[in-house]
């Protein structure tokens, strides 16, 4: 948590600045929207974090989201299968995608960048081909039950009595649950430790008796399944799916959130809390830019600059810490021989 | 030695270097005559590398002066150091494997002809430097295809090509086999004959004794003493380094070897498919594996630890055949490996002492549903820190900030926490200071007494002679002989290691 | 070490301070009158030169009717459109004119807007929503007008390819259907829809080979045009239904050396399309009046914000008729556009001209 101070600071500064700049920023309506967007992107950020921790990357997230979002209405509305079949199909598909990535990367020793870059193109192409580029919609009655997931808490059973509940998106609850599970998995189970270890040094991890291939495959499966689930949420939220563009760049948003949140692309490092903060910061920035009336065209540039600053601060803080530790260490090593003698 | 004249070529006077919280060098002095080979020895952290960095222009001293040829110099960059004729050959070689020998020698100062690299000139000049260091290879050969020893010679050739008068060699033989070491020492002697001065840093006291005209010993950043040729002997050097008498450096008590634990039958490795290996290790036994680099020792360990599959043959533990398809299988069979490449294979540098020690035991100690057993991990770690005397501020220290010896102890701690039956040690004391070495020898002895079977690979003859109950000697993939303690001698080992060709070591 | 930290802090603070200041200045510049001026938004369905005319119209109307207009062009589809609308609603807005990208499936968003402010649709309608009014063209009729141009360009019949950005929007579907129905001489029926995946549609004289969509990706749009030219030897006419399609189609035809052989019929008033009509490389185009969309949208929203509901016609549709432009009337049309953009253009030109003039004077 300590290493997320930098990004937390930036988040607070932007938040306060925007609140001062435009009082409407703090309205319940805007906060709800912001929380919901941050949650959706946070969810896919958690997915990609697993892969980044192994030192890999998944560029296919956006396309997988597009494919999943396109497939569900295709199966359920156009082909008139029951909703359960559709849901099963998209989760099974996500799982297979992750499995394929993992197997190609560990068994065939292909580079994750290459494998998932090909995935990016393949899934997009399949999504467009299946529905011949037709826009898919979630307006159908069948999906109204699922839409609770992108509604507010008061729509959940037994929650209608609480007035505050309608100001909290259900997606935020999903993010929290997922975040806690992911955090526990990463920090409290031996499998999480395996992932962190192999991300730092796969060879040493394997030499310590860890089945690194299986762990890497699991990481890709987790990433794809969470992406698939995230895709479903995005689709329910936006309602309208253009197979050729839905989910474009989401992988980069997710990767940026993970990096902002303290994941190293070299692997072995990452905190779930940081990733959630990273995703929140990016959504907050977009919101702030329109709230403060900054030229819309500048938006990508502002986001890029802030990510760069975040990463720079992170690096400087790390160096500072390393220097302090070196000093401390030097004291210890000089002290110890004396104790010995 | 006959070229010594009165005024020293290099004088280091009262140099002090402080880092935040530590004085790395405290008033150290050193002198080097023309054509002299000066050995600089000391435990890790004694300040040898700091002084070398100062001489090579990488760091500046806080106090004190350096004189070359009597003139005070300010070595504020590698370039000025080179201009003063000082060149440093790092322990980790700095060569680009994808370039040719010639390209490496002239890297950064390629001769040009009409704006393009003059390949012909590179070839001719590089070849002459290669002849100088006795490397009989074409300058067009890629560095990757050379052995470590040959690469070392290329480094020396590069230093000579910039007209170095003072050559600093930082543990040049640590990755070389006996044979390559001898070759290197010949080259150093030859350089001395040509008037080049050499500062030779080494942990191998045998080499020092053979090569050096004089020894300077550092301890805790200070001069601990100088020995001239006549005064040099092993015990004297060790005593100066560690600052106390060492009656017996190699800790060995008689082992009463018991039943066969590990038995290898007709094992064929991918590295040496023409060879079939047969041997066994008993309980309470330390078996050394000697041989030159490339004799197939590390490859044998990799097969025994499940890293590489065997082509054929059987490995039996307690008489039962085990299938070793991964390190995990080996660990389950009670086999543990302390690898030669510690930083790549032994530890995870960026993780803490606790996480590293806990790594092997995670699976055995896990709680329900795969949850970490944090208490067990903490207990194991503090037990190991105490038992192995790991010098670390606390269990949460990141391993990369520990010294090589303590890192090696972390690797050992990782395995001891799951109590292996068979311990494979590949160059267990490489790059480790004398004090830690002795502790590791003590540990090997203690473990053997407690019933662990130990198989260790070493390129240091003294270590093989000092530690093994029985020695397997390998040559080109084949086990060429087994020597029990009574038959063990340096000559015998070298004969077998070089394929029965009768030759001495001197 | 503390200097490192303070430097770091400064580096973080600087851009954020800029953000903050720009936000404050925006607010502080509001004059007391501002509250009386309705704040309305005009949201397009993407970024295209077409919308610059609408922008001009919206700005002109804002000036005329004493309103502030916020013009937003979502770069990234439905998601962007949703985010922009929600952010505007959060800021507080007196009315939104939107060209919904996918009216059928954006129901939730449209409801959200409708509940919070006055909402009208422009360019593309969402009849099922709570929109107070639709301002735009009858796309089906415009499509048929486009079909007429194809007939004129290729009176003896032949094969036709249709290129369009997206088919999700009602307007592009209707346009396309209009073209097809006209070529097949069907009775007008806005509810008819030929699936693009159904393949070749064969009429007596005209055959529609295919409809290609590019999702606003210009590179892809051009590649598709090139592929079509390469694939069909007997291709007679290409119809581009979105403003950027025809110039890219023309590039493809030029590169293949088939200018004149393959006729091109355009939609909208892209500069290059008009120039090509002048040069007789494109047969003709059907133009909407985007300036009027912007202008009328702001006029209606400003009126509604002031409580004047008379700005809305009874059938809640304000049709802005389309026109056919051919070689004979293109020059007049270009002049008209020039005049529309004149204020903006003249500002730009005076700036550019005045600087060198200043250099010359001494």
Our count of domains for chain C comes to: 2
Clarify whether residues C160 and C272 are in a common domain: yes
DSSP helix/strand/coil, A180:
helix
Query: Is A17 within 8 Å of C16 when comparing Cβ atoms?
Result: yes
Query: Is B362 within 8 Å of A201 when comparing Cβ atoms?
Result: no
Does residue A27 lie in a domain region? Answer: yes
Is pLDDT at A325 greater than 50 in this prediction? yes
Query: Is A238 within 8 Å of C79 when comparing Cβ atoms?
Result: yes
For residue B210, report the phi and psi dihedrals to the nearest 5 degrees: -75, -35
Interatomic CA distance for residues B26 and B32, integer angstroms: 19
Q: What is the ipTM of this complex?
A: 0.84
pLDDT score for B1: 44
Q: Report the length, in residues, of chain B.
A: 506
The residue in chain A having the minimum alpha-carbon distance to the alpha carbon of residue C107 is: A139
Structural domain ending residue among the three candidates B242, B262, B292: B242
Neighbour subunits, A (≥3 Cβ pairs < 8 A): B, C
Among A29-38, B93-102, B228-237, C341-350, which is the least confidently predicted range?
A: C341-350
* pLDDT band, very low/low/confident/very high, at B15 (cuts 50, 70, 90): very high
Is pLDDT at C10 greater than 70 in this prediction? no
- Among candidate residues B480, B486, B484, B482, the one with its CA nearest the CA of residue B501: B480
Interatomic CA distance for residues B363 and B414, integer angstroms: 13
Interatomic CA distance for residues B391 and A337, integer angstroms: 9
Residue B414: its chain A contacts at CB < 8 A?
208
The first and second tokens of residue C318, run together, are: 């304000």
Query: Is C105 within 8 Å of A323 when comparing Cβ atoms?
Result: no
The residue in chain A having the minimum alpha-carbon distance to the alpha carbon of residue C12 is: A309
Measure C288 CA to nearest chain A CA, in Å: 25
Looking at residue A48, which CATH number applies to its domain? 1.10.3470
Residue C216: its chain A contacts at CB < 8 A?
245
Per 3-state DSSP, chain A is made up of helix, strand and coil in percentages (nearest 5) of 80, 0, 20
Residue B393: its chain A contacts at CB < 8 A?
328-329, 332
Does residue A325 lie in a domain region? Answer: no
Interatomic CA distance for residues A13 and B74, integer angstroms: 48
Query: Is C76 within 8 Å of A248 when comparing Cβ atoms?
Result: yes
Chain A contact for C141, CB < 8 A? no
Which residues contact residue B263 at a Cβ distance below 8 angstroms, ignoring those fewer than 6 apart?
A: B279, B280, B315, B316, B317, B319
The residue in chain A having the minimum alpha-carbon distance to the alpha carbon of residue C197 is: A132
Where is mean pLDDT largest: A156-165, B391-400, C214-223, C295-304? C295-304
Interatomic CA distance for residues A128 and A66, integer angstroms: 9
Candidates B17, B18, B19, B22, partner chain A, best to mutate (most A CBs within 10 A)? B22
pLDDT score for A314: 73
Does residue A317 lie in a domain region? Answer: no
Chain A contact for C90, CB < 8 A? yes
Is pLDDT at C21 greater than 60 in this prediction? no
SS3 string of B452-497?
Answer: CEEEEECCCHHHHHHHCCEEEEEECCEEEEEEEHHHCCHHHHHHHH
Tens digit of each residue's pLDDT (9 = 90 or more) over A80-100:
999 999 999 999 999 999 999
Clarify whether residues C210 and C310 are in a common domain: no
Query: Is B370 within 8 Å of A200 when comparing Cβ atoms?
Result: no
Helix residue ranges, H only, chain C: 2-28, 50-64, 77-91, 107-116, 139-153, 170-183, 218-231, 245-255, 271-278, 290-305, 330-340, 342-360
Among A105-109, B280-284, C215-219, C292-296, which is the least confidently predicted range?
A: C215-219
Our count of domains for chain B comes to: 3
Query: What's the domain range around A289?
Result: 2-301
Tell me what the mean pLDDT of segment C74-101 comes to. Answer: 90
Number of CB atoms found within 10 A of residue A15's CB? 18
Neighbour subunits, B (≥3 Cβ pairs < 8 A): A
Chain A contact for B419, CB < 8 A? no
Tens digit of each residue's pLDDT (9 = 90 or more) over B289-314:
998 767 889 899 999 999 999 999 99
Tell me what the mean pLDDT of segment B472-493 comes to. Answer: 87
Neighbour subunits, C (≥3 Cβ pairs < 8 A): A
- Among candidate residues B295, B300, B291, the one with its CA nearest the CA of residue B264: B300
Measure B428 CA to nearest chain A CA, in Å: 16
Is pLDDT at B282 greater than 70 in this prediction? yes
Does residue A49 lie in a domain region? Answer: yes
* pLDDT band, very low/low/confident/very high, at C12 (cuts 50, 70, 90): low
Structural domain ending residue among the three candidates B227, B242, B257: B242
Clarify whether residues B427 and B355 are in a common domain: no
* Percent of residues, chain C, with pLDDT higher than 90: 48
pLDDT score for C89: 92
Tens digit of each residue's pLDDT (9 = 90 or more) over B337-386:
999 888 889 999 989 999 999 999 888 888 888 899 999 999 999 999 99
Is pLDDT at A340 greater than 70 in this prediction? no
Tell me what the mean pLDDT of segment A35-63 comes to. Answer: 94
pLDDT score for A273: 92
- Among candidate residues B203, B149, B151, the one with its CA nearest the CA of residue B176: B149
Query: What's the domain range around B33?
Result: 10-242
Clarify whether residues C113 and C154 are in a common domain: no
Q: Select the residue of A192, A201, A207 nearest B337 (Cβ to Cβ).
A: A207
Looking at residue C59, which CATH number applies to its domain? 3.40.50.2300
The first and second tokens of residue B422, run together, are: 């068979």
Measure C94 CA to nearest chain A CA, in Å: 14
Residue C72: its chain A contacts at CB < 8 A?
296
Interatomic CA distance for residues B388 and C153, integer angstroms: 92
Does residue B341 lie in a domain region? Answer: no
> What does DSSP assign to residue B9?
S
Clarify whether residues B16 and B160 are in a common domain: yes
Helix residue ranges, H only, B286-373: 297-304, 327-332, 353-358, 362-365
For residue A108, report the phi and psi dihedrals to the nearest 5 degrees: -90, -5
pLDDT score for A115: 97
Where is mean pLDDT largest: A55-69, C34-48, C200-214? A55-69
Does residue C4 lie in a domain region? Answer: no
Tell me what the mean pLDDT of segment B102-127 comes to. Answer: 85
Where is mean pLDDT largest: A110-114, B65-69, B171-175? A110-114
Measure A334 CA to nearest chain B CA, in Å: 7
Interatomic CA distance for residues B465 and B487, integer angstroms: 10
Which tops the pLDDT comparison, A160 or A186? A186
* Percent of residues, chain B, with pLDDT higher than 90: 37
Query: What's the domain range around C123?
Result: 36-137+290-321
Candidates B329, B351, B381, partner chain A, best to mutate (most A CBs within 10 A)? B351
The residue in chain A having the minimum alpha-carbon distance to the alpha carbon of residue B330 is: A209
Clarify whether residues B367 and B425 are in a common domain: no
Is pLDDT at B67 greater than 70 in this prediction? yes
Clarify whether residues B207 and B92 are in a common domain: yes
Interatomic CA distance for residues A187 and B232, integer angstroms: 55
Tens digit of each residue's pLDDT (9 = 90 or more) over C127-185:
888 899 999 888 899 999 999 999 999 999 999 999 998 887 778 889 999 999 999 99
Among B11-20, B44-53, B120-129, which is the least confidently predicted range?
A: B44-53
- Among candidate residues C205, C215, C213, the one with its CA nearest the CA of residue C240: C213
Per 3-state DSSP, chain C is made up of helix, strand and coil in percentages (nearest 5) of 50, 15, 30
Clarify whether residues B177 and B310 are in a common domain: no
Is pLDDT at B473 greater than 90 in this prediction? yes
Query: Is A21 within 8 Å of C5 when comparing Cβ atoms?
Result: no
Strand partners, B40: B201, B216
β-strands C68-72, C39-43 pairing: parallel
Looking at residue B163, which CATH number applies to its domain? 3.40.50.300
The first and second tokens of residue A79, run together, are: 């082909």
Measure C154 CA to nearest chain A CA, in Å: 29
Q: Select the residue of A18, A134, A286 nearest C23 (Cβ to Cβ).
A: A18
Tell me what the mean pLDDT of segment C295-322 comes to. Answer: 91
Residue A137: its chain C contacts at CB < 8 A?
102, 104-105
Q: Select the residue of A190, A203, A207 nearest B372 (Cβ to Cβ).
A: A190
Clarify whether residues B194 and B136 are in a common domain: yes
DSSP helix/strand/coil, C96:
strand
Structural domain ending residue among the three candidates B242, B261, B277: B242
Clarify whether residues B381 and B430 are in a common domain: no
Clarify whether residues B31 and B119 are in a common domain: yes
* pLDDT band, very low/low/confident/very high, at A1 (cuts 50, 70, 90): very low
Residue B345: its chain A contacts at CB < 8 A?
203-204, 207
Does residue C360 lie in a domain region? Answer: no
- Among candidate residues A275, A293, A235, A268, the one with its CA nearest the CA of residue A48: A275
Among A326-335, C32-41, C353-362, which is the least confidently predicted range?
A: C353-362
Interatomic CA distance for residues B187 and B183, integer angstroms: 6
Clarify whether residues B258 and B225 are in a common domain: no
Clarify whether residues C125 and C217 are in a common domain: no
Does residue B100 lie in a domain region? Answer: yes
Strands (E), B259-334: 260-268, 277-282, 286-291, 312-317, 320-321
Tell me what the mean pLDDT of segment B480-492 comes to. Answer: 86
For residue B166, report the phi and psi dihedrals to the nearest 5 degrees: -125, 120
Our count of domains for chain A comes to: 1
Tell me what the mean pLDDT of segment B124-150 comes to. Answer: 85
Does residue A311 lie in a domain region? Answer: no
Q: Is residue C169 within 8 Å of residue C103, measured between CB atoms?
A: yes
Query: Is C108 within 8 Å of A239 when comparing Cβ atoms?
Result: yes
Query: Is A328 within 8 Å of B360 when comparing Cβ atoms?
Result: no
Helix residue ranges, H only, B220-305: 234-242, 297-304
Q: Select the residue of C4, C84, C88 nearest A316 (Cβ to Cβ).
A: C4
Q: Is residue B185 within 8 Å of residue B64, measured between CB atoms?
A: no
* pLDDT band, very low/low/confident/very high, at C19 (cuts 50, 70, 90): low
């Amino acid at each position: 948590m300590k290493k997320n101070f930098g990004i937390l600071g930036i988040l607070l500064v932007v938040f306060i600045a925007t609140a001062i700049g435009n009082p409407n920023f703090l309205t319940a309506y805007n906060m709800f929207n912001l929380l919901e967007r941050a949650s959706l992107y946070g969810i896919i950020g958690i997915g990609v974090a697993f892969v980044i921790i192994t030192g890999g990357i998944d560029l296919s997230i956006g396309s997988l989201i597009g494919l999943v979002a396109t497939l569900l209405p295709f199966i359920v509305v156009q082909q008139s299968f029951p909703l359960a079949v559709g849901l099963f199909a998209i989760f099974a598909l996500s799982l297979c995608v992750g499995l394929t990535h993992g197997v190609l990367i560990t068994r065939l020793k292909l580079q994750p960048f290459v494998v998932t870059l090909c995935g990016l193109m393949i899934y997009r192409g399949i999504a467009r081909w299946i529905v011949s580029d037709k826009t898919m919609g979630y307006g159908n009655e069948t999906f109204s039950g699922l839409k609770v997931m992108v509604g507010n808490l008061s729509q959940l059973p037994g929650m209608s009595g609480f007035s505050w509940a309608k100001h909290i998106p259900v997606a935020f609850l999903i993010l929290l649950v997922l975040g806690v599970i992911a955090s526990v998995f990463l920090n409290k189970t031996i499998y999480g430790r395996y992932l962190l270890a192999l991300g730092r040094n796969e060879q040493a991890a394997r030499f310590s008796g860890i089945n690194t291939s299986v762990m890497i495959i699991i990481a890709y499966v987790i990433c794809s399944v969470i992406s698939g689930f995230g895709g479903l949420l995005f689709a329910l939220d936006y309602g309208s799916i253009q197979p050729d563009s839905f989910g474009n760049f989401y992988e980069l948003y997710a990767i940026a959130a993970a990096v902002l949140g303290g994941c190293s692309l070299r692997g072995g490092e990452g905190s779930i809390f940081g990733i959630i903060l990273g995703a929140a910061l990016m959504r907050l920035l977009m919101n702030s830019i329109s709230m403060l009336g900054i030229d819309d065209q500048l938006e990508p540039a502002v986001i890029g600059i802030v990510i760069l600053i975040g990463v720079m601060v992170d690096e400087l803080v790390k160096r500072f810490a390393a220097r302090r530790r070196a000093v401390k260490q030097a004291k210890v090593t000089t002290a110890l021989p004396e104790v010995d003698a | 030695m006959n070229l010594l004249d009165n005024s020293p070529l290099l004088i280091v006077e009262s140099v002090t270097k402080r880092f935040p919280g530590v004085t790395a060098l405290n008033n150290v002095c050193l002198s080097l005559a023309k054509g002299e080979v000066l050995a600089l020895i000391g435990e890790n952290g004694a300040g040898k590398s700091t002084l070398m960095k100062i001489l090579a222009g990488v760091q500046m001293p806080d106090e004190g002066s350096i004189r070359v040829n009597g003139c005070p110099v300010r070595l504020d960059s590698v370039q000025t150091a080179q201009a003063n004729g000082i060149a440093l050959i790092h322990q980790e070689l700095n060569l680009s494997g994808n370039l040719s020998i010639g390209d490496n020698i002239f890297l950064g100062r390629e001769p040009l002809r009409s704006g393009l690299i003059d390949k012909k000139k590179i070839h001719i000049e590089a070849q002459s430097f290669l002849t100088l260091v006795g490397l009989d290879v074409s300058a067009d050969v890629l560095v990757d295809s050379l052995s470590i020893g040959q690469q070392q010679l290329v480094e020396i050739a590069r230093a000579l090509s910039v007209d170095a008068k003072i050559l600093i060699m930082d543990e040049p033989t640590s990755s070389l086999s006996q044979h390559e070491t001898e070759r290197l020492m010949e080259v150093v002697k030859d350089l001395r004959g040509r008037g080049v001065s050499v500062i030779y840093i080494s942990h191998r006291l045998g080499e020092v004794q053979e090569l050096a005209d004089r020894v300077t010993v550092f301890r805790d950043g200070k001069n601990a003493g100088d020995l001239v040729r006549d005064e040099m002997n092993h015990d004297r050097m060790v005593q100066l380094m560690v600052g106390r008498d060492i009656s017996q450096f190699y800790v060995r008590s008689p082992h009463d070897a018991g039943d066969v634990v590990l038995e290898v039958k007709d094992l064929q490795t991918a590295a040496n498919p023409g060879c079939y290996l047969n041997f066994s290790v008993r309980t309470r036994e330390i078996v050394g594996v000697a041989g030159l680099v490339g004799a197939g020792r590390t490859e044998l360990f990799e097969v025994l630890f499940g890293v590489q599959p065997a082509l054929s043959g059987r490995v039996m533990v307690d008489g039962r055949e085990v299938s070793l398809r991964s390190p995990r299988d080996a660990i389950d069979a009670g086999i543990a490996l302390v690898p030669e490449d510690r930083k790549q294979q032994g530890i995870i540098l960026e993780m803490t002492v606790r996480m590293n020690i806990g790594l092997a035991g995670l699976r055995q100690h896990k709680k329900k549903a795969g949850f970490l057993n944090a208490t067990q991990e903490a207990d194991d770690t503090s037990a190991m820190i105490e038992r192995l005397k790991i010098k670390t501020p606390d269990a949460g220290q990141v391993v990369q900030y520990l010294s090589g010896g303590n890192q090696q102890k972390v690797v050992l701690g990782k395995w001891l926490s799951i109590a292996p039956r068979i311990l494979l040690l590949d160059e267990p004391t490489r790059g480790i200071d004398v004090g830690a070495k002795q502790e590791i020898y003590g540990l090997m002895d203690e473990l053997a007494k407690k019933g662990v079977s130990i198989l260790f690979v070493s390129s240091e003859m003294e270590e093989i002679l000092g530690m093994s109950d029985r020695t397997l000697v390998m040559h080109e993939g084949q086990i060429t002989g087994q020597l029990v303690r009574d038959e063990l001698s340096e000559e015998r080992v070298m004969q077998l290691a070089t394929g029965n060709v009768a030759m001495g070591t001197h | 070490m503390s200097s490192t930290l303070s430097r770091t802090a400064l580096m973080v603070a600087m851009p954020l301070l800029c953000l903050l200041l720009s936000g404050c200045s925006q607010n502080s510049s509001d004059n007391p009158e501002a509250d009386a001026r309705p704040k309305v938004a005009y949201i397009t369905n993407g970024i295209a030169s077409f919308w610059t005319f609408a922008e001009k119209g919206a700005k002109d109307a804002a000036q005329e009717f004493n309103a502030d207009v916020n013009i937003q062009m979502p770069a990234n589809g439905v998601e962007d459109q949703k985010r922009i609308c929600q952010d505007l609603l959060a800021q507080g807005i007196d009315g939104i004119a939107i060209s919904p990208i996918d009216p059928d499936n954006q129901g939730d968003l449209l409801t959200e807007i409708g509940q919070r402010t006055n909402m009208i649709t422009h360019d593309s309608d969402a009849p099922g929503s709570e929109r107070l009014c639709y301002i735009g063209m009858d796309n089906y009729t415009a499509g048929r007008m486009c079909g007429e141009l194809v007939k004129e360009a290729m009176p003896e019949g032949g094969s036709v390819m249709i290129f369009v950005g997206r088919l999700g929007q009602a307007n592009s579907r209707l346009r396309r259907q209009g073209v097809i129905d006209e070529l097949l001489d069907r009775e007008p029926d806005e509810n008819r829809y030929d699936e693009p995946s159904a393949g070749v549609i064969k009429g007596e004289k005209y055959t529609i080979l295919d409809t290609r969509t590019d999702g606003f990706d210009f590179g892809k749009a051009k590649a598709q045009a090139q592929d079509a030219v390469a694939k069909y030897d007997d291709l007679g006419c290409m119809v581009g239904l979105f403003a950027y399609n025809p110039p890219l189609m023309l590039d493809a035809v030029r590169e293949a050396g088939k200018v004149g052989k393959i006729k091109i019929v355009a939609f909208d008033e892209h500069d290059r399309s008009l120039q090509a009509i002048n040069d007789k490389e494109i047969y003709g185009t059907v133009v909407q009046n985007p300036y009027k969309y912007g202008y009328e949208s702001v006029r209606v929203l400003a009126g509604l914000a002031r409580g004047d509901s008379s700005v809305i016609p009874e059938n809640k549709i304000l049709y802005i008729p389309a026109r056919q432009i051919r070689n004979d009337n293109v020059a007049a049309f270009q002049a008209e556009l020039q005049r529309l953009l004149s204020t903006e253009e003249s500002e730009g030109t005076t700036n550019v001209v005045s600087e060198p003039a200043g250099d010359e004077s001494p």
